[in-house]
Every structure is written in structure tokens, then in C-alpha cells.
A and B are shown apart, each in its own frame.
Chain A
Amino acid sequence: MNLSPLHFCLLFSSGLFCIGLIGALSRRNAILVLLGIELMLNAANLNFIAFWRFSPNPENGHGILFVVFSIAVAAAEAAVGLALVISIYRHQKNIRLPEATRLKG
């Protein structure tokens, strides 16, 4: 079996995605769930870079442009998510997700 570097990149990113998925599904702490989602986003960016690097014409740079915009959106998502965590903490004095069942304080 002959594996190309692109195969290794894809295996790497799918491993990272699944670690983030397992973390986001199994943990009850809101901050850890957010960190798992960040890991999944990072795995997607990794795929963009891998396919850009091994494409026939990397000089058009579409993969890099996608990743730049994706990182900006991920930063906005992290800021809003952690603000939501602080808001949940103010209402129920902990950040355990199964107890956060009310939309309105």
C-alpha cells in the first residue's frame, strides 16, 4: 500500500476532527465543549491547506484565502461562545451544560 503525503494529512485532520467531536459530545463543561468545536474547525482548515498544497496549481491560492476567512470567523465564534459561557455562569453559578435548560434568565 503506497500512501502519499496527502493521505497522511487527511488522516491527521480526521483524527483531530474526531478528538474534537468526542470531546464536544462527552464533556459537560461548556468551555471544554467550545474547545472541542474549535478543534473541529482547525481540522477543517488543515484540510484546506493540505488540498491547496498538493493541488496541480497552488499559485492561485484559493485554499489559503479560504483558511484566512475561516480563521476570522472562528475567532468571532470563540469570542461569542465564551461570552455566552460567562452569561450562563451569571445565571446559574456554574457552567454545566445539562443544567442550562432555560433560554431566559
Chain B
Amino acid sequence: MNTAPLILIALTTLATAAVAMAGRNLIHSALLLVASWAGIAAFYLWAGAEFVAFAQILIYVGGVSMVVLFAVLLTRNSRAELAISTDSLSRAVAALLAGGAVFGILVGAILRTPLTVSTPSAAAFNVRTLGLELMGTHAAALLIIGIILTVALLGAVVLAAPEPPEDAP
């Protein structure tokens, strides 16, 4: 299996994610993360999981990014506040140390683990099989996830709705 596209996708995704997390402007961060999520969708396409790739594009690139942009625009006081103030240096150093330690442990564990890789064709699992699985074996899980989504979205509406005035009867 060709790894050149994988490395290209990985570098693009990691670079956009890092710049988004380090940025000063919230709108720039949100838009850069859209590129990062699109890179992850490209990885899913490379791996042969087409349905998940298009679900990623629909939900993250289309949905979550819009919700984030709305939250950014609803929670600013003035135009100047979009450029958020610099965070404290000690906090950033501590976060970098913790994240770097986790990354070192993960990379060490991955590089020292012999992984047996088999590359059969993934064409045996297409969207038709996925639909049959979801409607047959995993129908109960699908119903539960639908209920969770409904409850969570109703709860989000209740949380974000403005409170009624205090002196209302």
C-alpha cells in the first residue's frame, strides 16, 4: 500500500491543526480546523472507508464548523475582541511539557511494537453491507444513538435559550 499520499495528508492535517490551536484569531482557527477535518476525511478515503469519509465531511466540515462559527460570532463583545488576548506563558509551557511527554510515550510505544499488517482489499465491506449491519445486528444501537442525539440537541436548545425575566408571573 502506497504511503506517500498518507504522509502528505498527515503533514497537511497536523500543520493546519497546530496553526489553528496556536492562533490568535478565533475565526482563523475555526476555518483552519475545517481544513484539518477535511484532511482527516481524505485519510478515510485513502483507507477505503468511503461512507465514513463522507459522514466526516457532512458532519464536521458542514455542521460542526458552522456551529463553531455561530458560537464565535454570538460570544464576542466587539470587533476588537476577535483577536483574543495572549494566554499566560507558564500555562502554555506546562501544556507543551505535558503534551510532549504524552507524545513521547506514544511514539516510543508505537515504534517498539511489531505490528503485523495484512492488506486485503477493503471492497468486501461496502455501503450496502454497512446499511444491512446497521439495520440488522446493530439496530438497537442505532435507535439508542438517535435518542441520545435528540436528547442532547434538546438539552442544547434549553441551555442556549435566553432566560425569562425574573418578574414574570
Contacts and interface: CB of A to CB of B under 8 A. Distances in A.
Interface of A: 1, 3-12, 14-23, 25-29, 31-32, 34-36, 38-39, 42, 45-46, 49-50, 52-61, 63-65, 67-69, 71-80, 82-87, 89-90, 93-95
The 7 closest A-B pairs by CB, nearest first: A23-B21, A26-B95, A76-B152, A22-B99, A25-B95, A83-B156, A59-B124
Nearest to A72: B145
Nearest to A18: B103
Interface of A is mostly: helix
A73 B92 CA distance: 29
A85 to B, nearest CB: 5
Contacts of A45: 40, 52
**B contacts with A: majority SS:** helix
A7 to B, nearest CB: 6
B107 A80 contact: no
Contacts of A20: 17, 21
B26 interface: yes
Interface string B101-118: 011001100110001011
Nearest to B148: A76
Given A58-B125, A67-B49, A19 B18 contact: yes
A49 B125 CA distance: 13
Contacts of A84: 159
A21 B7 CA distance: 22
Interface string B132-167: 011000100100010011001101110110110000
B155 A86 contact: no
B160 A49 contact: no
Given A12-B43, A20-B21, 11 more contacts: A18-B102, A19-B17, A27-B87, A36-B21, A49-B49, A54-B119, A58-B122, A60-B125, A69-B141, A72-B145, A78-B68
20 contacts: A1-B111, A5-B1, A6-B115, A6-B117, A9-B47, A10-B110, A12-B14, A14-B107, A19-B18, A35-B21, A35-B30, A39-B21, A53-B49, A54-B118, A58-B124, A65-B138, A68-B130, A71-B59, A75-B59, A83-B160
A18 B18 CA distance: 10
Contacts of A80: 152, 155-156, 159
Nearest to A90: B162
